[in-house]
Amino acid sequence: MELQGCYTALVTPFRNGKVDLEALGRLIEEQITAGIDGLVPVGTTGESPTLDFEEHQDVVRFTVETVAGRCQVIAGTGANCTAEAVRLTRHAASVGADATLQVTPYYNKPTAEGLYRHFAAVADEGGLPVVLYNVPSRTGKEIDIQTVHRLAQHPLIVAIKEAGGSADRVSQILSGCGITVLCGDDSLTLPMMSLGATGVISVASNVVPADVTNMVHAALEDNWEEARDLHYRLYPLFRDLFVETNPVPVKAALAMLGKIAEEYRLPLCPISPAAREVLKAAMKAAGLAV
């Protein structure tokens, strides 16, 4: 399958302790109206660690049903237990998701062989094309380049979300295989695309979907001057959406814009007053009225 463009790592809105599907539906419609290429529910930004199994499945199902084929859906169905990842992936396949985002198993820190067997099992048994997700700052474990090259030989392992903070890894990956690379860090989107990445799975596009989509498509069309102009206008937002742990700032930003309730689940908690002011300034610099 072809994966290119801007994919939004969707937040999961809460209200009174429950998943707010009404607010989620509004966000999805706004994303599609803005021209987004795809949506990624229940990833890190979707607070996957605090959703129970039923909620996880409900958010994926609701997203697919609401999208109704108008853009791609890459369902976050990763886990640090292979059997659980397979089970979640099979559910996503059954409701019509286009692909699965598979985070590196966290905390148990498998060997390179363990990583290979884990991702291959999800691809073999899950029923969906797999997007690997390399984010060592979260998982404590990097998918080493040799393992990426080995996994790329599997017909259902189609892409990698690269969030290791290194554009150099894109060169290392693409010099050894033809797997699709999607950037996992908004601020590194253009550097990675200049090396061959085909887009981004974005946090910032929750807030400014049209702008991030336009930036990515400008780069895809080799209009680098326009892409750079958008990058530098949006850069303060790219940076300051991580002034505290994601997704706290992006949910605070959406709440400031009146789109969701500012609600989290412990151990995440509201943004600090000082960080809120930093975020507000970045939002204003991006042209948002707050």
In a domain, 235, yes or no: no
Q: CA–CA separation, 45 vs 282, rounded Å?
A: 19
Choosing from 7, 116, 133, 264, the catalytic residue is 133
Decide if 109 is catalytic.
Answer: no
For residue 198, give the 3-state DSSP assignment: coil
137 against 92, higher pLDDT: 92
71-86 pLDDT tens trace = 999 999 999 999 999 9
Give the pLDDT of residue 67.
98
26-39 pLDDT tens trace = 999 999 999 999 99
Residue 234 CA: distances (Å) to CA of 9, 84, 214, 215:
17, 37, 12, 10
User: What DSSP designation does 162 have?
Assistant: E
In single-letter form, the type of residue at position 193 comes to M
In a domain, 265, yes or no: no
In a domain, 93, yes or no: yes
Q: CA–CA separation, 219 vs 143, rounded Å?
A: 27
197-247 pLDDT tens trace = 999 999 999 999 999 999 999 999 999 999 999 999 999 999 999 999 999
Residue 178 main-chain phi, psi, to 5 deg: -105, 20
Rounded mean pLDDT of 135-154? 94
Choosing from 7, 116, 141, 161, the catalytic residue is 161
For residues 257, 201, 212 and 206, what is the CA-based torsion angle, rounded to 10 degrees?
A: -10
User: What DSSP designation does 265 have?
Assistant: -
| Statement: residue 140 has pLDDT above 90 | no
Rg of the chain (C-alpha set): 18
Q: CA–CA separation, 38 vs 35, rounded Å?
A: 9
In single-letter form, the type of residue at position 184 comes to G
Decide if 133 is catalytic.
Answer: yes
CB 199 within 8 A of CB 183: yes
Q: How confident is the model at residue 289 (pLDDT cuts 50, 70, 90)?
A: confident
In a domain, 269, yes or no: no
Give the pLDDT of residue 137.
87
In a domain, 237, yes or no: no
Q: CA–CA separation, 127 vs 123, rounded Å?
A: 7
Rounded mean pLDDT of 83-90? 98
For residue 49, give the 3-state DSSP assignment: helix
| Statement: residue 1 has pLDDT above 90 | no
In a domain, 53, yes or no: yes
Average pLDDT, rounded, for the chain: 97
In a domain, 261, yes or no: no
Of the candidates 2, 35, 6, the residue with the CA atom closest to the CA atom of residue 216: 6
Q: How confident is the model at residue 252 (pLDDT cuts 50, 70, 90)?
A: very high
Give the pLDDT of residue 54.
96
Total number of domains constituting the chain: 1
- Label residues 202-235 b or e (16+ Cβ within 10 Å = b): bbbbbbbbebbbbbbbbbeeeeeeebeebbeebb
Domain that holds residue 79: 5-223
Q: Which two tokens stand for residue 135?
A: 């984010």
In a domain, 66, yes or no: yes
Rounded mean pLDDT of 186-197? 98
Q: In CATH, what number is assigned to the domain containing residue 130?
A: 3.20.20.70
Give the pLDDT of residue 290.
83
